[in-house]
Structures are given as C-alpha cells and as structure tokens.
Amino acid sequence: MPEPTTGSLPLAVRANAPADVPFPVSAHGVEWSELTVEHLHPLANLVARIEARDNPPFRTSPDEVFEMLSSGTQWRGVAGFATRGMANGRMVAFAQVELRFPGHVECVCQGGVDPAFRRVGLGASLVAWQEMAARQMLAGIPGNGPAQIVAQVETGQEDHEEHLKARGFRWARTYYELRADLRVLPQMPDLGRWLEVEPWGPQWEEPTRHLANRISEQEWGRRPITAEQWSMGRTAFVPEWSFVAVDKKGDRPRVAGFLMASRYVQDWAALGWREGYIDQMAVDQDYRNAHVVDALVVSSMHAQAADGMDRTGAGLGSANHSGALAVYDYLGFRTVGQSRLYAIEI
C-alpha cells in the first residue's frame, strides 16, 4: 500500500474529531478511568494474563509496560476495572493511543481485554474509543501532511480484526516474522578492500541516525527523526549484537549500513529457546549490491551464537518483502508467522 499523500485540507479539518471523547460505557461490571503510570503493576499483570491465554510468540516485560506508560510522546489511555465478583478491583481491559512521527503523523492504537471478560462487547468499545481519541489528538497537529490511525492484528485475533473493519480500518500491510537456527552459521561474505563491519559504539549514533533519515526520506518521503526519538525504545537493545558497515575508501569513513539487535528475555519461556532479534537494519542504496546486508546479518548471527543464543529472529514488512526476503532465505531464515497492520488514512 502506498504511503498516504499530503492532503489539501489542514489535518485539524481532515481528522473530523469529536468534541468530546467519553470513557467507554460502564457495563458488565466494568468501570473506566484514565490510564496513568501509576497503573504500571495492574497493567503489567493484565498484559501477562492476556499473553498467557493468547500465547503470542513474545512476552511483554514490566520494563516495556513502564516504557509505554512513561513515554515522552503524546498519548492517552483508559483502564477498565471490575467492580464485582472475584475479579473486583482488578484491571480487566485497557486501551492506549500514542502519537508517533516516523516521517508522517501516526496515531498507534494498543489495547487488550482479560480473557475472562471477552465476548461481552468490551473489545468493540475499546476500538471505538481509540478511533475517537486518535482523531482528537490528530486534530491538534498543525499542517496538512499525511496522517494515519493504525492498529496491529496478531494471528488469532479475528474478533479484533472485525472490530477494526467495522470502524473503517483497512488492511495496510503485512509483517512477516522470520527465524534462523544458529547451530549452523553462514560464512562472512567478502566485502572487498574498503568495506568493513565494525561493532556498534557511541561514535556511530549520529552517523547511523543520519543514514536512517536519508533512506526514510528518499524511499518514503518521511521527515527526519530527532536524536531523542532515535534513542527511544531501547530497553532490550544489545550493542554487542549490533554492527555498522563502514566504507573507508575516502578521507572520512562513510556509513554504508547498520543493524540493531535486541534481547527479549521475557520471550524465551514462551518460545522454548534463547533467541536474539534483529530490530532494525538499513543499508545505503549505493551499497545494496555489495553484500552489506549479508555481512551485517551474518555478523549479528555469529555474535548472538557466541553469546549462547539458540536462534535469531527478524521482522520484515510487505512493502520491502521480496528482495530482502531472498537475502534472509539465503542466510537460513524461514517465515514462521505474520501480523497485519490496519489503518485509517486521515
């Protein structure tokens, strides 16, 4: 799906925001309040119950929940608490919308319902609240650039998918989950005389951010992200598994590409093995035929294996699926799952 185009009307008009966004209706023994960082432990427990029932191939740590609730970006959330029965006082549902700026304006929806409180209408109420809250937040953004409200659907979440469709969300793209066994490792490709792969270090923070911004602008027309935005969301980042490809032919080294990997320890019990994860990779267009992608991935695979990991994973969007998938396939990765992104273009 192509990136949204710039609208002729201001975003404040296109958002078609409601004047007020009330809490979801209090019903089925559930009452609502504003979600805040003070709800860290009840929310972490709720997310753990949801993931124990749905069994996704990942687990959300309390640190990640704290990061979500204490984000420096703009966000809103609601929490539903049971008011009767054995669950009295327990958080049983939540929803959050967060503004992000990955080159265009994006309002990301997250949420969930306790397995014991499903199929009573809470899911539909949460999606309705998310859409209204997102529209109101987007209406406060100046300018007339592209904007979206987005929500991710994991495998098995058919009810959530139907609720999104009912509110006007449409499929935007698919994300593929890839995995490789680290018992047999591919060999490092020959990069020639001038290209080298170096370990991640503080000296590469700004050069890699500039490369990421340049690629994002060239390929997607997105605005650059700031140094503060670049450093966010790194709770699980492992510098020792992350690498930078450098062209040393000129007087000043030039970053040809980079790879950032993470360790999600909370996922290992659900997976049944120790696994690293390639979170982000970007390669300059001038070096995409020079085995830089292969070299970065192979370097990370060897580092993860040396650190005791059994397997490594990576995510790949359908927008760049075909070419990148061929490289991953060559290196021993196989597609093991997928999720779908639904969006409303504003």
Domains and CATH numbers, the chain: 11-168 (3.40.630.30), 178-339 (3.40.630.30)
- Averaged over 308-334, what is the pLDDT? 85
Q: How far apart are CA 50 and CA 56, in angstroms?
A: 9
**pLDDT, mean of residues 227-233:** 85
Query: Region 245-274: what's the mean pLDDT?
Result: 93
Low-confidence winner among 50-59, 111-120, 132-141, 221-230 (lowest mean pLDDT): 221-230
Average pLDDT in the 274-296 region?
Answer: 93
Closest C-alpha to 236, from 43, 54, 60: 60
Interatomic CA distance for residues 3 and 105, integer angstroms = 11
Question: CA 303, 307, 308, 309 torsion: positive or negative?
Answer: negative
* Token code pair at residue 140: 């406060």
191/196 Cα distance (integer angstroms): 7
Name the pLDDT band for 156 (thresholds 50, 70, 90).
Answer: confident
Residue 233: predicted pLDDT: 78
Out of 111-125, 261-275, 308-322, pick the least confident: 308-322
326 class by beta-carbon count within 10 Å (0-12 exposed, 13-18 middle, 19+ buried):
exposed
- Residue 235: is its pLDDT beyond 90? no
**pLDDT tens-digit series, residues 3-22:** 444 457 899 999 999 999 99
Whether residue 84 contacts residue 42, with contact meaning beta carbons closer than 8 Å, is answered with no
